[in-house]
Chains A and B, each alone.
Chain A
Amino acid sequence: AQKITQTQPGMFVQEKEAVTLDCTYDTSDPSYGLFWYKQPSSGEMIFLIYQGSYDQQNATEGRYSLNFQKARKSANLVISASQLGDSAMYFCAMSSIYGNNRLAFGKGNQVVVIP
């Protein structure tokens, strides 16, 4: 079974600072993908970044980077130079073959960026 754990309480971040959102996962599947999504208060889910289990390098996408530590089964999201528009819920998710490629979501991290 797949399991995603996001346990951080809500976070306040100063504008222009970096923030790290923790995500740990549990799976016995040899091949899996890890995703981060952003959900603003308006409700839409925005795909941010993807990391494959066999990828040698950490994924980066603009201000987003993923700190992938396979042995520790963690896939933390780093947002650099926070902006007010980054205030949202952030969900870590995993897809795997044994899970029929469905996404298993964590409970989410609430981030509020303050000026």
Chain B
Amino acid sequence: GAVVSQHPSWVICKSGTSVKIECRSLDFQATTMFWYRQFPKQSLMLMATSNEGSKATYEQGVEKDKFLINHASLTLSTLTVTSAHPEDSSFYICSARAGTGVNQPQHFGDGTRLSIL
């Protein structure tokens, strides 16, 4: 159980393109989903917290207009990187959590490797 699907796995596109990444919880309802960014050989950096039906909460320094997050249902959150540029190239990974307690693990998707040319 607790499977999270993230799509696509790889994206290579030209500078200026907008890229949408989907994160789905397949066998549970996720009250909260999270979006992270990870640079090579570094830890995960939280970008934003997404709650179903409400606006995402962005971490300090993350551009809201650059990284659009929509959490339309209890099983789907999307991250859109708008007008992507080479500096946006990174590994993006989402997670989903069923409940709200400190004992609830986050279950992660497989991540998306984004390369902007």
Contacts and interface: CB of A to CB of B under 8 A. Distances in A.
Interface of A: 31-33, 35, 37, 42-47, 50, 52-53, 91, 95-97, 100-103, 105-108
A95 B102 contact: yes
A35 B97 CA distance: 13
B49 to A, nearest CB: 6
A107 to B, nearest CB: 5
Nearest to B57: A100
Interface hub of B44, B100, B109, B113 (most chain A Cβ within 10 A): B44
B105 A101 contact: no
Interface residues of B, number: 25
A42 B109 CA distance: 12
Interface hub of B43, B93, B97 (most chain A Cβ within 10 A): B43
Nearest to A51: B103
Interface of B: 2, 32, 34, 42-44, 46, 49, 91, 93, 95, 97, 100-111, 113
Given A43-B91, A43-B111, A91 B44 contact: yes
B1 to A, nearest CB: 11
A91 B102 contact: no
